[in-house]
Amino acid sequence: MKRTLNIGIGKRSFVMDEDAYQKLNGYLGAFRKELGGAYGSDEVMDDLEMRIADIFSERLANTGNVVDIRLVNEVISQLGMPNGPYNGSNDGFEESGRWEYRKGKPKRRLYRNPDDKILFGVCGGLGAYLDIDSAIIRLIFVVLLVLGSAGFWIYLVLLIIAPIARTPVEKCEMMGIEPTAENMNRFRNGGCN
């Protein structure tokens, strides 16, 4: 018989095998140590825990109700570390790379980009969403504004419906990149490093 623990991660509760808990706790400790006390590291850790909780919930809906070492290894290999794969204890985890869990290209979401803004970040967010330079979007809005009021109304609607990308996960979604630990770390200081 294995001992199980009731743990809370990402504001959710999970039942976890003791060995899986030790592995996850070691990973989170190593991740926290890798980030150090840098500005924004608490936000990255919160986002990481939320992402882990999302993956656990998704997997447990299909497999069962206890988080085991196999699932923790999958999560660790999927998320990795801020600067590459996790090189902690090797309980079934391959140090050579990450376990690929991709159902295709990540879905982009429209956000206002606080890192590329002149007024409210609408053009920066639209540029990131469409994967084109935000200067081109700004030029299009100016032309539409000069030709009539369409540019103003479109900008106003986008300002109302598009939320600001505040967290590293939201910035990853805005850019259309997988919210891995390495990618979230790129955005922890408020910009793309």
Reported confidence tier of residue 82, pLDDT bands at 50, 70, 90: low
pLDDT given at position 94: 39
Is pLDDT of 133 > 50? yes
Residue pointed to by tokens 């007024």: 119
| CA 113/CA 123 separation, integer angstroms | 8
Query: Quick check: helix, strand or coil at residue 134?
Result: helix
Is pLDDT of 142 > 50? yes
- Side chain identity at 145, as an amino acid letter? L
C-alpha to C-alpha distances, 102 to 130, 181, 190, nearest whole angstrom: 21, 15, 26
CA-closest candidate to residue 121, choices 106, 110, 132:
110
Residue pointed to by tokens 């079934």: 92
Reported confidence tier of residue 163, pLDDT bands at 50, 70, 90: very high
Percent of the chain with pLDDT over 70: 79
pLDDT given at position 160: 92
CA-closest candidate to residue 190, choices 166, 162, 155:
166
